[in-house]
Amino acid sequence: MIHPAIEPALKECAAFVEDALNEALPEVQGPQGRLFEAMRYATLNGGKRIRAFLVMQSGRQFGVDRRALAHAAAAVECVHAYSLVHDDLPAMDDDDLRRGKPTAHKQFDEATAILAGDALLTHAFALLAGQETHTDPHVRCELVARLAQASGANGMVGGQMMDIDAKGQLTDIGQITRLQRLKTGALISFAVDAGAIMGKASAGARHALSNYAQELGLAYQIADDLLDVEGDPVQMGKAAGKDQRAGKATFVTILGPERARAQAQLLADQAAAHLEVFDEKADLLRGLASYVVNRRA
């Protein structure tokens, strides 16, 4: 089911972006040392880097330089890492474990976790505004504006707010879809769009990639909900059954696991189908759609 080239390509990309992040977030001695340590702890942790992969592969369709793409990919991963640090806080989802390690506020303390998240978010914009990301300042401004839109009150943060407000009260699939389009979908869409913006893609290509990203984002989320019910906590590096204990309505609690699995697969197929305008260079993007719904962690 999973394209054989996907996992090696993800691993290669993760190592490449890890290097970029390692450079972007240096080890620092002295009074701010602990803050940088927390930022590195939250970010350099061997995640799958699916968002970074999307930036890299999307940009590849338009021949964008890999090192330039790595800056944008690092920015997306900084935003993703910050969102996890803040979402894990006691006042939010109150999680102790993330990717098999203590969450940032457990490893450090709450104040450090809040500030490290703030600094990671801030650093993402510094990365996008830097000349290494693109020689054309119009492109850099568009990246900044799009990331702000995707991650702010009308994007990721808005989705997290809805999720916290709605705990247990959502009953229909439309509401959950809207929530997840913001909470996880918006940043995934940004990642795909970032490569297209950097490649000055045509409106048609951007539209196709945008449709791909929307379906992929939902498929990814449904797979996540399924893993929460059926996944192996050791492989996932985090507790399973969290949604159920929190009384949270998810795609799985509403559709049941069978229909949810079928829906995720359908969305993955649709996502891949949106890429028909692209040539074989898009095979890894196509394959990623299957990967996200068939992954074990």
> Which positions lie near a second copy, rule CB under 8 A?
31-32, 34-36, 39, 82, 86, 89, 91-92, 109-112, 114-115, 117-119, 121-123, 125-126, 128-130, 137-138, 140-142, 144-145, 147-149, 151-154, 157-158, 160-162, 164-166, 178-179
Nearest to 166 by CA among 154, 153, 176: 176
The nearer residue to a second copy, 57 or 180, going by C-beta atoms, is 180
Q: Find the shortest distance in angstroms from Cβ 174 to a second copy.
A: 12
Written as one letter, the residue type at 104 is: A
Q: State which residue, 67 or 138, has the beta carbon closest to a second copy.
A: 138
Residue type, 212: Y
CB of residue 183 to a second copy, shortest distance in Å: 11
Distance of CA 35 to the CA centre of its chain: 23
Task: Please give the Cα distance from 5 to 296 (Å, whole number).
Answer: 17
Residue among 70, 64, 37 nearest 51 (CA): 70
- Residue 142 vs 228, nearer CB to a second copy: 142
The least CB distance from residue 97 to a second copy, in Å, is: 20
- The least CB distance from residue 285 to a second copy, in Å, is 27
Torsions phi, psi for 277 (to 5 deg): -70, -15
Query: How many separate helices (H) and strands (E) can be counted in the chain?
Result: 16, 2
In this structure, the number of other CB atoms found within 10 A of the CB of residue 184 comes to: 21
Contact 255, 223 (CB under 8 A): no
Identity of the residue, 172 or 258, whose beta carbon is nearer to a second copy in the bound complex:
172
Q: State which residue, 98 or 140, has the beta carbon closest to a second copy.
A: 140
| Rounded least distance, CB 12 to a second copy, Å | 29
